[in-house]
Amino acid sequence: MMHRKETGKSVVYRFDEFDAFGMASAPGASFVGTFIVPKEHAHRVQEGNELGSLLNLYDEKVYGIVLRKQWSRAKRRRTWAYYYPPKAYEMAPCDCGNEDTHWSEFEGHLWCDRCQKDFIPKHNGLFDGPIPVRVAAKLGVRFDRVILATDRLDRFDMDAGKWESEKERP
């Protein structure tokens, strides 16, 4: 998905999960990034091929074009998910405003039942910073997870700082 916003001196193009080849949302490799383009260069961005145009302008080192938060990656399937929903960890809701999201089948993504789509949350709540686990425990936050292949609950040991499955067995 692409978002375009004009400001006083520039045009901002933000891409969320854009297929770098087909220019559409893709379940495989995706491009996430923000371009800031001075208004005097905005006419060089081709409608319908915004990402391709912007990447070319950036590669040509056209003066003033800035690229932020760029990465290209393939979605990887999640092997486990936290037992509690994303809302329990204060993760960002979907763009539609739905706060009752679920863990997506893909790492780094959440699922919105209302929109029927996977999305990357704007912020990851508790996971955006260092997590003092003992403080979290006192607040009632748990980090137990479910192993998806077996549907088994894997409890997090706050004292050891590990899940049960990661502890050394005798």
Domain ranges of the chain: 2-74, 80-166
Residue 155 pLDDT: 94
Residues 6+ positions from 159 with CB-CB distance below 8 Å = none
pLDDT, tens digit (0-9, with 9 covering 90-100), for 92-121: 999 999 999 999 998 889 999 999 998 889
Beta bridge partners of 31: 18, 72
Helical H segments across the chain, by residue range? 50-59, 133-138
Residue type, 1: M
Residue 92 pLDDT: 94
Residues 6+ positions from 169 with CB-CB distance below 8 Å = none
Reduced to 3 states, what is the DSSP secondary structure of residue 43? Answer: helix
pTM higher than 0.85, yes or no?
no
Any idea what DSSP says for residue 86? Answer: G
Query: Tokens 């990447």 identify what position?
Result: 55
In angstroms, the Cα distances linking 134 to 6, 81, 83, 126, 158 are 45, 21, 18, 13, 7
The count of residues in the chain is 170
pLDDT, tens digit (0-9, with 9 covering 90-100), for 14-67: 887 665 444 333 344 466 778 899 999 999 998 888 887 888 888 788 778 887
Residue 94 pLDDT: 94
Segment 132-154 shows an average pLDDT of 90
Higher local confidence (pLDDT), 132 or 29: 132
Q: Residue 30 in contact with residue 106, Cβ under 8 Å?
A: no
At residue 83, what are phi and psi to the nearest 5 degrees?
A: -65, -40
